[in-house]
Amino acid sequence: MAKNSYDAEAIEVLSGLDPVKKRPGMYTDTSNPNHLIQEVLDNSVDEALSGHCSNIKISLLKDGNIKVSDNGRGMPVDIHPEHKVTGVELILCKLHAGAKFSGDDYNFSGGLHGVGVSVVNALSEALEVKVKRDSKEFQMGFSNGDKVSELKKIGDVGLRNTGTSITFKPNPEYFEDINVQVKTLKHLLKAKAVLCPGLTIEFINEKKPNDKEKWYFEDGLKSYLNESSEGSELILEDSIICSKEGSAQELEFAINWSTKPPKNKLDETYVNLIPTAQGGSHLNGFKSGLLESIKEFCEYRNLLP
């Protein structure tokens, strides 16, 4: 029988990563582990956006682990002045922790909800992080979000050899399907490379030896649109490409029309390289603005019947 009284005793306080474990669906897509990969990937892409990373590698390992590594600056390994733990531990064990909130380190960054890799840590049976920074390599281990080994130095590296590597094994307890949707993941990786010129993204599936790809785009959206439109009869010989930059934001788009419904409709929007679910207001606003512009152009020149 349910309690009728509602008093202070009924209030439950969850600390650390417990809220994620209790209600994982509030923090990630629990249909499969793809979104966990995206959370780790987005941290690496943030480094690329700020000009500190040129290569990201995603590996699906034979033992079920997933590895994401980059050549960025590496997670901070020093002690946080307020929380008295290393930057690595703070990032991986505390929700809403990250340099992206201050605005000093990242002009543009993804996932500003700030849950990020701490959610990956909470929902993984095991997670190992390696950091190359300040001519040293460090390692730290976790299990189900709990620390199992302290951050320790494991070797020396060259001064310019920097980066972060996170290897994790999603806990099947939290997911409907523990298998990574490879096709969906590849599409995401390709889009990230398109939207971040100069960034190389590699994918390796150790479970299938020949399943490996690499993406690098110099022309960005133009190359992506043209490649994705192959086989379609496009109205414009050259797609419309636009790029504008303001004091606090940038806008870039590529558009074309086909004479017939395309086999693979390309209808995507991204904010800080994060895909917007079902288009959202960004896509709807763009379509409305485009329609109004064309309508005004036709009315002004008496082109409408």
| Integer Cα distance of 224 and 243 in angstroms | 15
Both structure tokens of 274: 């994060």
- DSSP notation for 149-180: EEEEEEEE--TT--EEEEEEEE-GGG-S--S-
Average pLDDT for residues 192-203, to the nearest whole number?
A: 92
Taking alpha carbons only, the member of 181, 207, 203 closest to residue 63 is 207
Dihedral (CA of 99, 100, 101, 106) sign: positive
Q: Give the three-class secondary structure for 26.
A: helix
pLDDT exceeds cutoff 80 at 110: no
Give the H or E element holding residue 116: helix 116-122
Q: What is the pLDDT of residues 133-186, one digit of tens each?
A: 999 999 999 999 999 999 999 999 999 999 999 999 999 999 999 999 999 999
Burial 279-297 (b: 16+ CB within 10 A, else e): eeeeeeeeeeeeeeeeeee
**Paired strand residues for 133:** 136
Tell me which long-range contacts 126-130 makes (C-beta under 8 A, separation of at least 24).
Answer: 126/65, 126/168, 126/169, 127/92, 127/166, 127/167, 127/168, 127/169, 128/166, 128/167, 128/168, 129/75, 129/88, 129/92, 129/164, 129/165, 129/166, 129/167, 130/154, 130/164, 130/165, 130/167
Residues 6+ apart with CB under 8 A from 46: 100, 106, 108, 109, 110
How much is the pLDDT for 115? Answer: 60
pTM, entire model = 0.81
Which of the four pLDDT bands, split at 50, 70 and 90, describes residue 104? low
Taking alpha carbons only, the member of 80, 73, 76 closest to residue 50 is 73
Residues 6+ apart with CB under 8 A from 22: 14
Average pLDDT for residues 253-271, to the nearest whole number?
A: 81
Q: How many residues does the chain have?
A: 305
Q: What is the pLDDT of residues 17-71, one digit of tens each?
A: 888 999 999 999 999 999 999 999 999 998 998 899 999 999 999 999 999 999 9
> What is the share, in percent, of the chain residues with pLDDT greater than 90?
54
- Who has greater pLDDT, 106 or 15? 15
| 127, amino acid identity | L
| Integer Cα distance of 114 and 96 in angstroms | 4
Dihedral (CA of 133, 125, 273, 261) sign: positive
Yes or no: domain 18-215 corresponds to CATH 3.60.20.10: no
Q: Give span(s): CATH 3.30.565.10, the chain.
A: 18-215
Average pLDDT for residues 76-97, to the nearest whole number?
A: 87
How much is the pLDDT for 234? Answer: 87
- Who has greater pLDDT, 276 or 284? 284
